[in-house]
Amino acid sequence: MNKELLILIAEAVAVYFLVLLSHSLRSRLGLAHFYALIGSLTAVMVWTTDAGVRVELGGLSLWVGSTVFYTALLLGVFVVYVFDGPRATRIAISTIVGVSIMVPIVTFILHLQIRLAGDATVNYFPPQSLRIYSASIFAAFADLVFLAIAWEFLGKPRFKVRLMARSFFTLLGVLWLDVLLFSSGAFAGTPGYLETMSGTFVSRLVICVFAFPFLYIYIRWQNQKCGMEIENRPLLAILREVTEVRMELSLAQQEIERRKQLEKDKEGLIGSLRNALDEVKILRGILPTCSYCKDIRDDEGHWHQLETYIQVHSEAKFSHSICDECEKKHFPDFEKKETKHCE
């Protein structure tokens, strides 16, 4: 066993362990640090793949980008889906795809900057064709979605697939699907396409056999010692989750609009109450009133008839009539006529 292979194995073990350890700390630290880690590993994966770093093993080419970093990302997304559900998985997938899109943009900017500076270090940032990058991003997205679907499919009760077989075949299926999608998208129609694909299928099988124990031991540990149970979800749970999130966002938007309208109505009611309160306050307190004619003096010293003052400072209106006592006092003849007529 040569030194390059030993270094590759040690590197893979370290990165696999780091990803799984980061996920195991989610109960204490949440998943933010985990998302940051897989985003960083995505960038490293793209750059090491672009640089063509690989190790030859018995006629097989083990690329560092796929053997170490891409497989570590698969393990990370795998355990996130199993234990944290579709929503957390969707965030992880978005992180991986987003960083994969950003890497060629950053590489292009670095090339432009180095060329403008007249530096010869441009070879440290090898460019790739748009076709290869597009195939890589599409394959990564499809692989991670397929991972969730395959896991649920093999977990159906009627199949009675054990956890070990379920984990192995899901991981192997994702690795082989990546070969099919990426190789076809990036190299279909080129010389040696079929040979490259067949060789990559075998290498991915070797990678799966090597990485599977890390995945299985971690799932068993979380399932048994940490009290984490594996949930049986619908087959398209990861896609349905996207629909549910959209519905939740729509309902949340409707709730926000409803609350805004209630707030406006509340402000209008408060304004009306304040105006009413201001009008009530005008008629409160001591009103200077003439002892004889009952006129009221305002703040400027002018005298006003009682009816006029109240009408100006309130919503009250007056209509004149005669009370019984005044009728007897001022119109005695009218009262007698009424009495006589009644008799």
pLDDT at residue 289, rounded to an integer: 82
> What is the C-alpha to C-alpha distance for residues 333 and 343, in angstroms, rounded to an integer?
16
Residue 341 has pLDDT above 50, yes or no: no
Averaged pLDDT for residues 44-55 = 84
Residue 60 DSSP code: E
| Predicted TM-score (pTM) of this structure | 0.66
The average pLDDT across 106-132 equals: 72
pLDDT of residue 146: 92
* Structure tokens given for 182: 């990426």
Q: Tell me: the pLDDT tens digits for 11-28?
A: 999 999 999 999 999 989
Token pair for 137 = 């991003």
Give the pLDDT of residue 343: 43
Average pLDDT for 256-269: 82
- Quick check: 337 pLDDT over 60? no
Q: Which fold has domain 3-235?
A: Arp2/3 complex 21 kDa subunit ARPC3 (1.10.1760)
**Radius of gyration, CA atoms only, the chain:** 41
Q: How far apart, in whole angstroms, are the C-alpha atoms of residue 237 and residue 149?
A: 8
Q: Are 76 and 19 in contact (CB under 8 A)?
A: yes
Q: Give pairs for 199-205: CB < 8 Å, separation 24+.
A: 199/59, 199/60, 199/61, 201/176, 202/60, 203/60, 203/61, 203/62, 203/63, 203/67, 204/66, 204/172, 204/175, 204/176, 204/178, 204/179, 205/172, 205/175, 205/176
pLDDT 10s digits, 188-224: 888 888 888 888 899 999 999 999 999 999 999 888 8
Which pLDDT value is given to residue 63?
Answer: 86
**Chain segment 120-171, per-residue pLDDT in tens:** 655 556 666 788 888 888 999 999 889 988 998 998 888 889 999 999 999 9
End-to-end CA distance of the chain: 137
Asked if pLDDT for residue 316 goes beyond 90, the answer is no
Average pLDDT over residues 270-299: 73
pLDDT category at 251 given cuts 50, 70, 90 is: low
226-241: b (≥16 Cβ within 10 Å) or e: eebeeeebeebbbeeb
Can you tell me the mean pLDDT for 299-327?
77
Ordered by start, the domain boundaries in the chain are 3-235, 242-282, 290-343
Average pLDDT in the chain? 82
pLDDT over 80 (residue 39): yes
> What single DSSP character describes residue 304?
E
pLDDT value of position 342? 41
Judged against a pLDDT cut of 70, whether residue 240 lies above it is answered with: no
Q: What is the share, in percent, of the chain residues with pLDDT greater than 90?
A: 31
Asked if residue 260 has pLDDT above 60, the reply is yes
> Does position 283 have pLDDT exceeding 60, yes or no?
no
* Rounded-to-integer distance, Cα 250 and Cα 174, Å: 33
